[in-house]
Amino acid sequence: MKRDSRLSSVLHALLHMAEQDGPVTSDTLAECLGTNPVVVRRTMGYLREAGIVASDRGHAGGWRISADLADVTLRQLHEALGEPAMFAIGNRNENPACLVEQVVNAALEDTFAEAEALLLERFSDITLADLAADFARRHAAARRRRKH
Q: Which residues neighbour 114 within 8 Å (Cβ) at sequence distance 6 or greater?
A: none
Q: What is the rounded distance in angstroms from the CA atom of residue 8 to the CA atom of residue 16?
A: 13
DSSP 3-state assignment of 82? coil
What does the pLDDT look like over 15-30, one tens digit per residue? 999 999 999 999 999 9
Q: Which domain holds residue 12?
A: 6-147
Higher pLDDT, 93 or 132: 132
Considering the domain boundaries, does residue 51 fall inside one?
Answer: yes
- The predicted model gives 7-13 an average pLDDT of 95
Return the closest-CA partner of residue 66 out of 47, 86, 52.
52
Considering the domain boundaries, does residue 1 fall inside one?
Answer: no
DSSP 3-state assignment of 68? coil
Eight-class DSSP state of 60: T
Listing DSSP states for 118-141 in one string gives HHHHHHHH-BHHHHHHHHHHHHHH
Considering the domain boundaries, does residue 75 fall inside one?
Answer: yes
Domain count across the chain: 1
Q: What is the rounded distance in angstroms from the CA atom of residue 65 to the CA atom of residue 98?
A: 51
* CATH code (residue 14): 1.10.10.10
Q: Bridge-partner residues for 55, per DSSP?
A: 63
What does the pLDDT look like over 29-55, one tens digit per residue? 999 999 999 999 999 999 999 999 999
